């Protein structure tokens, strides 16, 4: 847990933290509980590095396909006879 909080701070985490703190401060000024919950959630996402793809949760494994690529052979069909001509 300590590693998650202290390491891997990037620009997006800092933006989330600043926005969360700003929302919390605004919620205290206007005395709005719902606004403060949103600010705490946003700041918590930054501190604990959670959220959509925040901790690499959206990783999908690359499928290794051992089958060789099959080359497609095309055959051109030409019609020498035009309509109306014998």
Give 44-59 pLDDT, tens digit per residue: 888 888 876 645 556 6
pLDDT number for residue 28: 93
Quote the longest CA-to-CA distance of the chain.
92
Q: Give the three-state DSSP class for 52.
A: coil
d(C-alpha 49, C-alpha 43), whole Å: 10
What global pTM score does this model have?
0.56
Highest mean pLDDT among 1-5, 12-16, 26-30, 59-63: 26-30
* Contact in structure between 4 and 49 (CB atoms under 8 Å): yes
pLDDT of the residue at 22: 95
List the structure tokens of 54. Answer: 């925040």
Task: Indicate the pLDDT class of residue 71, thresholds 50, 70 and 90.
Answer: confident
Please give the helix or strand (H or E) that residue 17 lies within, else none: helix 11-30
3-state helix, strand, coil in the chain (%, to 5): 50, 0, 50
């Amino acid at each position: 847990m300590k590693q998650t909080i202290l390491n891997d701070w990037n620009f997006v985490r800092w933006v989330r933290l600043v926005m969360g703190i700003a929302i919390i401060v605004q919620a205290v000024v206007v005395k709005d509980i719902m606004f403060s919950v949103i600010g705490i959630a946003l700041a918590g996402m930054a501190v604990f590095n959670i959220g959509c793809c925040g901790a690499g949760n959206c990783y999908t494994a690359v499928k290794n396909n051992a089958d060789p690529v099959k080359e497609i052979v095309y055959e051109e069909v030409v019609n020498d006879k035009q309509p109306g001509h014998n």
